[in-house]
Amino acid sequence: MAFIDVLRRLISKTEREQHAKCMSLLALARDRDFQRAETAKYLYDLCVEQASIFVQEETRKPESPFRGVSRAAFFHEILTMTFWLMDKKLFNGKKVLLSAVHDIYFRSFSSPDPAEKRTEALEARYRVYKHEWDEISGHQDEFGAAVAQQIFGTENVGRIDERSFWIVWYADDLSKLLGRMKKIWKAAGFTPAAE
C-alpha cells in the first residue's frame, strides 16, 4: 500500500477521532485546568503520531534523502516542526498550549539539560521556522531547507532540494489536517483554555 493511501486512511480516521475527542474535551469545560491538560496531551499525542509516521515512512525508503542521519535526530526535529505548525495552524502562533505540550515532551524524552534550556532551544528553532515560512506566496522551499539544515547541519547540503520537498509535503498535509481540526473545534464551540 502506498504511503499516500496509508496517510489518507489515517487522516480520515484521525478526523473521526478528532471529532469524538473534541466532544469529550468540550464536556470537560467546567474544569478548565483539566480540560487544558487533556487537550495538551491529545495534541502532543497527535504530533508524535504524525511525526512518527513521516519519519518511519521516509527512513524505510531505500533511496531516502534522509539516510545518514540518526532516526532520533530526524524524529525530534520533525516533531519540533510539528509542534510549531500545530500552534501556528490551531492557535495562530499564540502559544496557547505550547508550554503544556513542551512539558509533556520533556517528561517523555529525558535530557541532561534543564527544561529552560530545552525550551530556549525549541524557541530558537521556532524563530527559524517562522522566519522561513512564506504566507504570501505559499512556496515553502526555504522553510523545508531550513528544517533539513536543522537535521543535517549546514555542511551536509547534498540532496537539500529533495529533503526540502518531502518536508514541505509533510508540512502541507499536516497543515490541511490541522485546518480541518480547527474547523471541527470551531463548529463544536470548543476553545481550549489559554495558559
* pLDDT tens sequence across 36-77: 888 899 999 999 999 999 999 999 988 989 888 889 999 999
CA dihedral for 46, 48, 51, 52, sign (positive or negative): negative
- Span of 38-52, 129-143, 173-187 with lowest mean pLDDT: 129-143
Cα–Cα distance between 82 and 80 in angstroms, integer? 5
For residue 191, pLDDT beyond 80: no
C-alpha grid cell, residue 162: 529533495
pTM value?
0.83
- Above pLDDT 70, what percent of the chain? 81
Average pLDDT, the chain: 84
Contact indicator for 22, 65 with CB cutoff of 8 Å: no
C-alpha grid cell, residue 110: 529525558
The residue extents of the domains of the chain are: 43-188
Q: Which residues contact 48 (CB under 8 A, 6 or more apart)?
A: 79, 108
Q: What is the CA radius of gyration of the chain?
A: 17
* Band of pLDDT at residue 173, cut at 50, 70 and 90: very high
